[in-house]
Structure 1
């Protein structure tokens, strides 16, 4: 039903007339690549922007945050998208300068495949231990303790992780490293990590691949963005947050987490373990990455127009596709920062 509502909404917007500025030029391509985490909302934004700006065509390949950053550094694209903000070392390699802009936000959820079980609570210790390979079966006492009214099967846990260099992996492992000293010692955090050998594990590329693998694998659990979990009709666990409350992912719990974060001047904010009774514990901004200086002034102008569209009309669509609209104070900061793109 949710999927039908989403696509009905999309058809409504595609059929609706909008009065936007005239095209910059008959042929202004804007090419990007990177994160799959925000791909559902980005693909809608690109489609609508292209429709209303006939002289500009945005093309985007979802290949994972790491691939997008590599393309950006190699000047193969006009912009990248990443769930992991570029490091100072990565930025230093780009002579044109780099402007990171948070464009939307979302939640990394633990989606699972357990027949007949639609509600599941996982404590911080439990979901850390699952991805450390210390908890191997669904009826482990540590899981049943927080789910006394659920009959959990005597079934092996299959963990599904990303096969590619992934910002979603970075966000998830950064969180696990913040709440588990053992996880911080190893695997640690990064866009790609060495998972414990004792894990019964499968891997897939991009968020859509992980979601499909979970759906096809009884007993599976994996980390994906909330939007893909909704699209694939996957069950998602309520996770224990920093204040000890079990919180289900959704618009309100994501907004509560964002409310705890201050945006610095460089636009890089990391919500590794947000405070707040109602905050979902794995919430993140996701960035688009631009050069500060482009050789073509018309392309720079088109990019600024594109950003303005996403900050205005685009944010109104975010929640319909499982993402969190930027708070208004963040929108204003991003508008100011985007003026550095020339």
Structure 2
């Protein structure tokens, strides 16, 4: 375990005096991170006895809840602008990296078999490509006999960081998408069916033959009995299979030190092997919390994840943060939190 700056006496007293409060940590937000968050919270409870209650309600709701301090930490797959963070008195920092993948329901199509370019994905979601045997799809899939069947578009209806990364990527590769749709946790979809959360999109795609949607990669892997995922052309012109290695290849180009409050998006990253819709989940917390003992407990959980949660992340094909970035986050806490709770997870075991 790394050494950390000593916790201020007042926060130490709060943690010792109110063990029940410190042991009940509440978080909410991203469904993208939910699969690995479930693993982390179970492991953290086993190690420390502390309970983390996490609601996978979408990045938009997670942001609103932390803004009102209705939870101890929020999560979002869309980074907030530093000016917005300053206005709201919030800080943000990354916790894990993963990927968003196109998923389809076409009989006989295997995972990773269908190719997509960003332009084709944008045109499908704009309603310009309506059938699976459209010439634009056939041209990049000459060895697959895709059916003469209509495409049913599925998207998120809630405020979603997964949607942000999907729409951000499409805005980077399609001028028409950028001009007409833009990017955000919610966009004005021109067509399609809406599902709530990654689970909702996965369910709809699995139920509708000919459907296409977008999911965090682990959700796709968990549903390969009903859906398949496609591969996407990256900025180097290569069609890249989504996995932890290609997400890591995209993350390798990130210069986190150059961005205030870690305001960085990994979509369409350079690199021969980089997956083009790689995404980061961020944690949001108040700089001057109403309940410092709760913030101390939340930071303790996040620190435990960063220091000890690598195996859980890798098992589910997420990419844990490198040591240099974790050290940068530690320094960021020291600069950002009014009374930084610089403790280690091992300290909570003794309570």
Q: Normalising to structure 2: TM-score of the pair?
A: 0.86
Partner-residue secondary structure (3-state), 2:74:
strand
1:113 corresponds to 2:80: no
Moved more, 120-129 or 249-258: 120-129
Instruction: Give the alignment of 1:223-302 within 5 angstroms.
Output: 223-233=214-224, 234-263=227-256, 264-302=259-297
Gaps of 5+ in 1: 1-22
Give, in whole Å, the separation in 1 of the partners of 2:202 and 2:71: 27
Moved more, 332-341 or 241-250: 332-341
Map of 1:324 onto structure 2 = 319
Instruction: Give the alignment of 1:1-342 within 5 angstroms.
Output: 25-28=19-22, 29-54=24-49, 56-88=50-82, 90-94=84-88, 97-118=89-110, 119-196=113-190, 199=191, 201-233=192-224, 234-263=227-256, 264-339=259-334, 340-341=336-337, 342=339
- 8 Å CA contact 2:132–2:149 kept in 1: the answer is yes
- 8 Å CA contact 2:82–2:263 kept in 1: the answer is no
Residue correspondences, number:
314
Q: CA deviation at 1:78?
A: 1.3
Tell which has more relative contact order, 1 or 2 (C-alpha 8 A, sep 6+). Answer: 2
Give, in whole Å, the separation in 2 of the partners of 1:294 and 1:141: 56
Q: CA deviation at 1:299?
A: 2.4
- 8 Å CA contact 1:307–1:338 kept in 2: the answer is no
- 8 Å CA contact 2:21–2:294 kept in 1: the answer is no
Map of 1:11 onto structure 2 = none
Q: CA deviation at 1:93?
A: 4.4
Q: Per-residue displacement from partner, 1:5-55 (whole Å, max 9, x unpaired)?
A: xxxxxxxxxxxxxxxxxx85233222111110110001111122123222x
Moved over 6 A (4+): none
Q: Per-residue displacement from partner, 1:262-296 (whole Å, max 9, x unpaired)?
A: 10341221123211111100001110111122244
Give the direction of change, closer, same or farther, for the CA distance of 1:172–1:266 in structure 2 (3 Å limit).
same
Give, in whole Å, the separation in 2 of the partners of 1:244 and 1:47: 41
Give, in whole Å, the separation in 2 of the partners of 1:193 and 1:126: 18
RMSD value, Cα: 1.6
Give, in whole Å, the separation in 2 of the partners of 1:105 and 1:174: 16
Map of 2:10 onto structure 1 = none
- 8 Å CA contact 1:207–1:228 kept in 2: the answer is yes
Give the direction of change, closer, same or farther, for the CA distance of 1:72–1:26 in structure 2 (3 Å limit).
closer
Moved more, 99-108 or 263-272: 263-272
Q: Normalising to structure 1: TM-score of the pair?
A: 0.88
Give, in whole Å, the separation in 1 of the partners of 2:299 and 2:160: 27
- 8 Å CA contact 2:81–2:263 kept in 1: the answer is no
Give, in whole Å, the separation in 2 of the partners of 1:329 and 1:145: 43
